[in-house]
Structure 1
């Protein structure tokens, strides 16, 4: 299947009726392009939750690819990377080729961390392109809307591209027009200064009428990758907490801006500076940090890309053959039939003790309410542990992190 068909199948499901049907179709059309140039789920938390042993078989979703590359630090036998969106798989393969082909860490940082040097064109031609197959080379060398080859985004701040990157750029402009300043967070030196700058430059924006109005428009959030079903979950979460949607988004932005040191938060770097600082090793995505780079580079051949749904991939796997599953927020998109089909295959293919990690737009997991009792009985979760993991997730754009372990 092509990307359009896969996304339509995932989003326009059996619950699509009336106004929701039009909203789902609009989201599916909007999502049929590069959305994420980096992930927005914290792989440090994922790895802590999974407690993987060497030789594990892992299934994850590509998104921006940084997560799959980070999981290589756990010495897995294989990381199977699935995505509905071929653009995300193409980006993952480019990052993989850069890690494999560029001669040293400094060159990798120039291409994948700074991602804005004119000399990256030469790096692509000499070291990256030879590692790509013919189809991927055609993809990355095809012209964009302005006639530039796609790979040239790595000479123009690559992480400002994609729907989310452009949304963040628009948010910076809008914030300044409204009297705020998202980039003011960049120079904060202490947690106290981060909190003070957030309260002065960012928090007041969420109390403006225009932000309250925008936060209630589902289509305004499509560039964040929030489909209509997840928007409904966010609204229910806000109602349960006695907040407006703008108030809910303010709290999550505060978590991102204030609860972790800026100098060691790659997500805050992209949100507020719109770039990584290659001189701050701790601020880089995990797979690019100096201590992890050698093992990631040595293991990139253990990544396997699959352009299909999670369920389609698992249907081709043997029983009791998988150790870890990372679903990002994909289950928020699914109707009950899709969710049951996925978890039937997860339960069949999971080894004893296998773990599943996922995020939700709202705070609570819906599995206990949506899966048949005989299916969920194979799994257990610890809600206190889940809340603790969520508190450690530096991205902070979701409402919950959930871990399920197979017990029988």
Structure 2
């Protein structure tokens, strides 16, 4: 997950800052904090190498929780980190006046722009669901060529029609299964292989029919895996969790939750919430983790942005979204004071130095409209701002601890330890 300049993205030839071949220098610069010939420096560079490709085909923050926290109104201006783009699309269903999407990862920028174009130009909702939620449909590639490609800006079209190492165009992934690709998709596949090597098939979870059966599957099949020596050793290595998008800095935050030399207990607890706290029919995050796909209509619900009732609002207002390949702080630096109502930082602050945090919150405080709301997540449970961001900046904000805790319980992705809401004080 990352950050991102005024680009009118989906179909306009005026888009100039689209993904290029610069190998994500902006992203790498943001990740590197230590000298190369140190353990921390080597870890950061390895993570940067892995993270420079597509990481998240979908987001792993629950947009329903975000929207409950933000209470989006039609006059609102939102700035959000893009990631897989599902959050931006969900927010758009509430028809805010403007959404600026930022991301330092050029692959995520291309994915966000493509998803917006799909909403605007595919003929019907059913075509959109086939394109973004169904697998093994080669007709999706034909739909891209006929309906979407002619409306993309040149750089984004060049990205999706560029060739992969196997000679196929990048867009061909939509004819297979988008959600089995990217760093996270490969990590989930490897996790399944590791579990199967220990006699457990995680995909069997999708056959459960009640919370009781889900709990039984977790207690009897999944929980014992975290006591296996190989798994405890692997979860003690920072590099083994890079596939989850957990950088070295976040690993250290998670490690602060355990007195052991492994994150196995922390990960077990998070997996327990994912598996046991929400009915499978209502948790598409669990479907992605265990079924490696979205549920079919008789199996469960799709994400908010793919549900029929959200379709027209997203399609008709897609031009209100502007996608930028730059940092959150740099984008805010060009905005006028008091012009942003809602800020969505995902988990990006976990990666930041104290200087980066203070630079970011200086711009947030300067650009915040009366009543503005900032939401973000953290690997650990506590907010990371106290003691790191200057008191003079934080004095402008109220931390809604009670509401933050209540909504964190409702986050179906179960990945993070904390969900946090800060409100601009008068």
Give the TM-score normalised by structure 2.
0.92
Instruction: Tell me the SS of whatever aligns to 1:197.
Output: helix
Tell me what 1:339 maps to: 357
**Structure 1 equivalent of residue 410 of structure 2:** 392
SS for the counterpart of 1:283 is coil
Kindly state the Cα deviation for residue 341 of structure 1 after the two structures are TM-superposed: 0.1
Say yes or no: does 1:358 pair with 2:366. Answer: no
Question: Is 1:215 aligned to residue 227 of structure 2?
Answer: no
Distance 2:223 2:235 in 1: 14
Pairing 1:285–2:285 present: no
The answer for the alignment partner of 1:67 in structure 2 is: 87
**Quick check: 1:125 aligned with 2:145?**
yes
The within-5 A match list for 1:73-88 is 73-88=93-108
* Shift in Å, 1:293: 1.2
Residues 1:355 and 1:77: Cα distance change in structure 2 (over 3 Å): same
Q: Higher mean Cα deviation, 126-135 or 351-360?
A: 126-135
Task: Give 3-state SS (helix, strand or coil) of 1:205's partner.
Answer: helix
Structure 1 residues 22 and 390: CA distance shift in structure 2, 3 A: same
Compute the RMSD of aligned alpha carbons.
1.6
Q: 5+ residue gaps in structure 1?
A: none
- Counterpart among 18, 22, 33 of residue 42 in structure 2: 22
- Equivalent pairs, count: 406
SS in 1 for 2:231: helix
Structure 1 residue 380 and structure 2 residue 403: aligned?
Answer: no
* Aligned positions of 1:35-46 closer than 5 A: 35-46=55-66
Task: Quickly say closer, same or farther: Cα 1:57–1:14, change in 2 above 3 A.
Answer: farther
Which one is further off, 282-291 or 147-156? 282-291
Q: Could you say which residue in structure 1 is the equivalent of 2:292?
A: 274
Is the partner of 1:357 in helix, strand or coil? strand
Q: Return the alpha-carbon distance in structure 2 between the equivalents of residues 15 and 338 of structure 1.
A: 18
2: distance between equivalents of 1:387 and 1:27? 30
Residue 155 of structure 1: aligned partner: 175
Aligned to 1:237, what secondary structure does the other structure show?
A: coil
Structure-2 separation of matches of 1:67 and 1:393: 13
- Aligned with 1:245 (options 246, 263, 268): 263
Instruction: Name the CA distance, whole Å, in 2 between partners of 1:3 and 1:337.
Output: 25
Would the alpha carbon gap of residues 49 and 282 (structure 1) be closer, same or farther in structure 2, given more than 3 Å must change? farther
CA deviation after TM superposition for structure 1 residue 278, in Å: 3.6
2:221 is aligned to 201
| 1:401 equivalent in alignment to 2:422 | no
Give the match's secondary structure for 2:61: coil
Tell me how far apart the structure 2 counterparts of residues 332 and 123 of structure 1 sit (CA, whole Å).
39
- For residues 187 and 144 of structure 1, the distance between their equivalents in structure 2, rounded to whole angstroms, comes to 35
Distance 2:400 2:262 in 1: 29
Cα displacement (A) at 1:179 = 1.4
Q: Which runs of 4+ in 1 moved over 4 A?
A: 14-17
**Whole-angstrom distance in 2 between the partners of 1:266 and 1:85:** 24
Provide the C-alpha distance between the structure 2 equivalents of 1:343 and 1:14, rounded to a whole number of angstroms: 23
1:185 and 2:205 matched = yes
- Distance in 2 (CA, whole Å) between partners of 1:77 and 1:251 is 39
